[in-house]
Amino acid sequence: MSDLDEQEKLVLDSVARFLERHVRPVASKLEHEDAYPHEIVARMKEMGLFGAIIPQELGGLGLRPSTYARIIELISEEWMSVSGILNSHLIMARIVDKMGTPEQRQRFLPQFATGELRGGLALTEPDCGTDLQAIRTVARRDGDDYIINGTKTWISNGIEGSCFALLVKTNPAAEPRHHGMAMFIAEKGPGFTVSRKLEKLGYKGIDSAELVFTDYRIPANRLIGGVEGKGLACAIAGLELGRVNVAARGVGVAKRALDEAVRYSQQRKTFGKFIHEHQAIALKLADMAVRVEAARLLTEKAARALDRGDRSDYEAGMAKLFATEAAVENSLEAMRIHGGYGYSKEFVVERLYRDAPLLVIGEGTNEIQRLVIAKRLIEKNPI
Catalytic residues: 363
CA atoms of 181 and 190, how far apart (whole Å): 23
Q: Which residue lies nearer to ligand FAD by CB, 12 or 233?
A: 233
Shorter beta-carbon distance to ligand FAD: residue 177 or 200: 200
Of residues 288, 306, 276, the one with CA closest to residue 352: 288
Residue with Cβ nearer ligand FAD (44 or 155): 155
Q: Does 312 bind ligand FAD (CB under 6 A)?
A: no
Q: Does 250 bind ligand FAD (CB under 6 A)?
A: no
| Residue closest to ligand FAD (Cβ) | 129
* Site residues (CB under 6 A) for ligand FAD, limited to 342-361: 358, 361
Residues 6+ positions from 379 with CB-CB distance below 8 Å? none
For residue 331, the minimal CB distance to ligand FAD (Å) is 16
Total number of residues shown for the chain: 383
Report the C-alpha gap between 38 and 268 in whole angstroms: 37
Of 195, 200, 226, nearest to 212 by C-alpha is 195
Strand partners, 270: 273
Q: Using CB under 6 A, which residues numbered 173 to 202 contact ligand FAD?
A: 200
| One-letter-per-residue 3-state SS of 174-207 | CCCHHHHEEEEEEECCCCEEEEEECCCCCCCCCC
Q: Is the Cβ–Cβ distance between 243 and 363 less than 8 Å?
A: yes
21: number of Cβ within 10 Å:
10
Give whichever of 237 and 281 is closer to ligand FAD, judged by the CB atom: 237
> Which one of 70-78, 244-252, 299-307, 367-375 is the stretch in contact with ligand FAD (CB under 6 A)?
367-375
User: What minimum distance in Å lies between the beta carbon of 282 and ligand FAD?
Assistant: 34
Pairing state of beta strands 138-142 and 145-156?
Answer: antiparallel
By CB under 6 A, name the one of 68, 146, 203, 353 that touches ligand FAD. Answer: 203
Query: What would the x/- binding string for ligand FAD be over residues 38 to 67, using CB under 6 A?
Result: ------------------------------
Can you tell me which of 81, 83, 124, 331 binds ligand FAD, judged by CB under 6 A? 124
Site map 268..307 versus ligand FAD, x via CB under 6 A: ----------------------------------------
DSSP line for 221-283: GGBTTSSTT-HHHHHHHHHHHHHHHHHHHHHHHHHHHHHHHHHHHTT-EETTEEGGGSHHHHH
Q: Which of 7, 106, 130, 221 binds ligand FAD (CB under 6 A)?
A: 130
Whether the CB-CB separation of 194 and 153 falls below 8 Å is answered with: no
Q: Angle formed by the axes of helices 313-337 and 349-361, to 10°?
A: 150
Which of 66, 76 has the CB closer to ligand FAD? Answer: 76
Which of 18, 50, 108, 154 lies at the binding interface for ligand FAD (CB under 6 A)?
154
- 123 is an interface residue for ligand FAD by CB under 6 A: yes
Contact track, ligand FAD, 83-122, x by CB under 6 A: -----x-------------------------------xxx
Cβ contacts of residue 381 below 8 Å, gap of 6+? none
Question: Would you give the distance in Å from CA 131 to the centre of its chain?
Answer: 19
Nearer Cβ to ligand FAD, position 123 or 348?
123
Nearer residue to ligand FAD within complex by CB, 128 or 332: 128
Smallest distance from ligand FAD to CB 321, Å = 12
Distance CA 296, CA 247 (A): 8
Please report how close the Cβ of residue 82 comes to ligand FAD at its closest, in angstroms: 14
Is 214 strand, coil or helix?
strand
Residues at the site binding ligand FAD, with contacts judged by CB under 6 A:
88, 120-124, 128-130, 154-156, 200, 203, 208, 358, 361-362, 365, 367-368, 371
